[in-house]
Structure 1
Amino acid sequence: MTAFVLVSEAFTGSWIWQEVVAGLRSAGAEAHPVTLTGMGDPTRPAGPGTDLETHIEDVARAIDSVDAPEVVLVGHGYGIHPVLGAAGRRPGRVARIVYLDSGLPQDGDAPLKVVPDPAVHELLAGRDGGGDRLIPAPALDEWGRWGSLDGVPGEALERLTRLAAPQPAGTFTQPLRLPEEVAGLPTTGVLCTANGSSIEMVEAFVRLGDPQLRALVDPRVSFFELPTGHWPMLSCATELAEVLVQAGAGEGYRLSVDGRPREESFLLEVPEMPRERVGRVDLHLPDADGPRPAVVFVHGGPFPADLRPTPRDSATFTGYGRYAASLGVVGATVDHRLHDLADYGRAAEDVAAAVELVRADPRVDGERVALWFFSGGGLLSADWLAAAPSWLRCVAATYPVLAPMPNWGLVPDRFRPAEAIQRAGRLPFVLTRVQLERPEIAATVVEFLTAAEKCAAAVEIVDVPGGHHGFETLDHTEEARRAVERAMGSVLGHLRG
């Protein structure tokens, strides 16, 4: 009989697992939901010094109270931090750790690092890190800041609000310490796709060679997806219980990548062109006399800071830069510092500095510039759409993210192209859309296009039949080649028109 110890998101307690517990027990499993200190159990109120260590000890005691020789620990959101800490104290008792729509914290990370609600960060920004204060639970209309509420019935949301408890500040700010033994334990990720996570997205980041994610290709690591928001115990408790039983049995999807960057090539044959590197910017230069228009290509992310090759040296961006130069314009690529969801402001500064560097180059016609954004870099287009300068002749975006994902709470409000397009006037926007886009990204494109239609924005859509996210190196098809040629032709037409 499998025994589950269940630890939930911030502000909640054992009550939130009620239906999941019933499902697990009906399947023949043990279920032990935990209410952490200060989270609603009147016998264990929060006191001075209640912190992450307190909650780790709570979970360790819960493990000790289970008669089964091994337990499956389930951590939802914040709950993964005390789960991992307790696993380090009782590694011999842990059969598997389940990350339920949670982050992937490393040794030394405080839970605050992955808290999506900006209001919590503001409350804990003081020098004492919040001290012994209690962080109030979200109000009824604030839970969306913690992730998607997709599928949660109204009465369940009201109950969540009514029973939620304020959380001690120290549980967010104290760093997590992980012994080496934790890394050797089997794990399962349960991803909630409506909250912005998917197996396809995880595989894409593993292919990039992110060293923190390479461990996910271990055969002891499995994955499941649930088509719901951040609160599956409230939106699809029966399905969650079924997935947990399967996870406890070691089932699930294994990643089909080896963790090494894939050798890639651009889908078009483009000639070698002169390239100059100036700081974070590469200029791909045409064979032409006099100043020429320029296209600044802005990569996506977040990408790890130690990713090699960097985006501007990748086959995709080298290819786009050369292609633009071969057609008689300056192709500029920039390595901006979008390494984390909290980095969008810094990345925007890098892009703005790169644009000014390009415009100041004597080989560039500074009055004829286009900006072309890719993937997660699509959010960076919002600044330019909201206040387009006269020299910006066109904005383009390829398989872009055009609204923050529900679990991207740390992204500042200004990075919302679906809102900014309403202030873009008649600025041309060339959107390259792939047929096989990840559903969580496709939803942001739909949101953007709905807003664009309402304000009659000048949006041109270039579709890629059978195309995937990153199709320039994945799909060397005739349809994909024609899409790149059409998008580039449209952008250059706006530059020259």
Structure 2
Amino acid sequence: MAAAGAAAGAAFAASKSATAKQPRNASRKTYVLVHGAWHGGWCWRDVAADLRAAGHIVHVPTLTGLGERVHLMSPAVNLSTHVTDVVNVFEFEELTDVILVGHSYAGHVIPLVADRIKNRVRHMVYLDAVVARDGQAFLAPDVADGRRKDAVDGYLLPPPDVSWFGIPTDHPLAPWVTRHLTNHSLNCLAETVHYRNGADADLPRTFIRCLQRRDMSQPDPLEKTIKGKPGWAWLTLDTGHDAMVTAREDLTAMLLEIS
């Protein structure tokens, strides 16, 4: 018995030593994928699975009051709440060197995250997002006031039909998306953005435009602002707004190429 125990102990020690000597995978990346309005971390299910299958670390936080956290919705939930949601993922998961991806409304969330913890972000990715400007809200004050009149309980905006997100009603995942969409707080869209540390101005940034949701007969004002500017990369996907649903493989491939 003693001999067997000694042998087992030696084997364990050898195994532990071999594991310790294994080189760290320098190519392994960490992604934080932030969803847009009415969505939740659930919308990244397939893209996250593909990124993980490629050997990367992926976090898909659900913002307060949405998705499986819908029970936490209240008038107090605003843009600042959602920024803290994402910052806390960095803090409690002890994340650094992160590729931070924001879809749609999250284009207002992720630069505020970078403004607070810029040294822990590696690359910013705006997926068909509204890029936040200092001193502005997602919705202009007059627009927000108009929407408030028809909002549920004075602040909740019901989700639109999936077709609004560029998902055909006959798409196999359309029923799944419809079941998971939840009301979004107008207070998140009405809060003004204020930067204290320059946001993401000195970080590498990529914008991915989903072409099928735009009127191609009109120029894209954001393309004029971003394309060709130092520090920015401009990419396009020939798909609808919810590219993580309708162009999973192409979007995953783009994210894998980002360094």
> Of residues 125, 128, 135 in structure 2, which corresponds to 1:101?
128
Q: Could you say what secondary structure the match of 2:83 adopts?
A: helix
1:228 aligns with 239
Distance (Å, rounded) in 2 between the aligned partners of 1:82 and 1:205 = 20
Of Structure 1 and Structure 2, which has the larger fraction of its residues in helix?
2
1:148 aligns with 166
8 Å Cα contact 1:132/1:168 also seen in 2: no
Distance (Å, rounded) in 2 between the aligned partners of 1:10 and 1:47 = 15
1:135 aligns with 157
Which consecutive unaligned segments of at least 5 residues does structure 2 have? 1-27
2:179 aligns with 162
Identity %: 27
8 Å Cα contact 2:148/2:155 also seen in 1: no
Compared with structure 1, are the counterparts of its residues 203 and 173 closer, same or farther at alpha carbon in structure 2 (3 Å cutoff)?
closer
The answer to whether residue 196 in structure 2 is matched with residue 186 in structure 1 is: no
1:4 aligns with 31
Distance (Å, rounded) in 1 between the aligned partners of 2:121 and 2:172 = 35
1:54 aligns with 81
Compared with structure 1, are the counterparts of its residues 121 and 159 closer, same or farther at alpha carbon in structure 2 (3 Å cutoff)?
farther
Distance (Å, rounded) in 1 between the aligned partners of 2:215 and 2:44 = 22
1:161-202 per-position Cα deviation (integer Å, ceiling 9, x unaligned): 11111112211111122231422221001111112288xx56
Please tell me whether Structure 1 or Structure 2 has the larger radius of gyration of its CA atoms.
Answer: 1
- Indicate the RMSD between aligned Cα atoms, in angstroms: 2.9
CA shift at 1:100, angstroms?
Answer: 0.2
Compared with structure 1, are the counterparts of its residues 131 and 169 closer, same or farther at alpha carbon in structure 2 (3 Å cutoff)?
farther
The count of residues paired between Structure 1 and Structure 2 equals 228
Distance (Å, rounded) in 2 between the aligned partners of 1:64 and 1:185 = 20
Distance (Å, rounded) in 2 between the aligned partners of 1:168 and 1:106 = 20
> Of residues 147, 150, 163 in structure 2, which corresponds to 1:123?
147
CA shift at 1:244, angstroms?
Answer: 0.9
CA shift at 1:130, angstroms?
Answer: 8.4
Compared with structure 1, are the counterparts of its residues 4 and 219 closer, same or farther at alpha carbon in structure 2 (3 Å cutoff)?
same
Distance (Å, rounded) in 2 between the aligned partners of 1:43 and 1:136 = 13
List aligned pairs for 1:353-364, cutoff 5 A: none
1:264-301 per-position Cα deviation (integer Å, ceiling 9, x unaligned): xxxxxxxxxxxxxxxxxxxxxxxxxxxxxxxxxxxxxx
Of Structure 1 and Structure 2, which has the larger fraction of its residues in strand?
1
2:228 aligns with 217
List aligned pairs for 1:419-438, cutoff 5 A: none
What TM-score does the superposition give when structure 2 sets the normalisation length?
A: 0.77
2:20 aligns with none
CA shift at 1:111, angstroms?
Answer: 1.6
CA shift at 1:66, angstroms?
Answer: 3.4
List aligned pairs for 1:452-491, cutoff 5 A: none
Compared with structure 1, are the counterparts of its residues 203 and 166 closer, same or farther at alpha carbon in structure 2 (3 Å cutoff)?
closer
Distance (Å, rounded) in 1 between the aligned partners of 2:49 and 2:131 = 28
Which consecutive unaligned segments of at least 5 residues does structure 1 have? 207-212, 250-497
8 Å Cα contact 2:66/2:182 also seen in 1: yes
8 Å Cα contact 1:137/1:164 also seen in 2: yes
Amino acid at match of 1:27: A
Distance (Å, rounded) in 2 between the aligned partners of 1:236 and 1:182 = 27
Compared with structure 1, are the counterparts of its residues 55 and 181 closer, same or farther at alpha carbon in structure 2 (3 Å cutoff)?
closer
1:343 aligns with none
Distance (Å, rounded) in 2 between the aligned partners of 1:133 and 1:68 = 33
Amino acid at match of 2:93: V
8 Å Cα contact 1:36/1:55 also seen in 2: yes
8 Å Cα contact 1:2/1:29 also seen in 2: yes
Q: Could you say what secondary structure the match of 1:183 adopts?
A: coil
1:238 aligns with 249
What TM-score does the superposition give when structure 1 sets the normalisation length?
A: 0.42
Higher mean C-alpha deviation, range 163-172 or range 43-52: 43-52
Distance (Å, rounded) in 1 between the aligned partners of 2:121 and 2:82 = 17
Distance (Å, rounded) in 2 between the aligned partners of 1:97 and 1:182 = 8
Q: Could you say what secondary structure the match of 2:129 adopts?
A: coil
8 Å Cα contact 1:191/1:197 also seen in 2: no
Distance (Å, rounded) in 1 between the aligned partners of 2:231 and 2:54 = 23
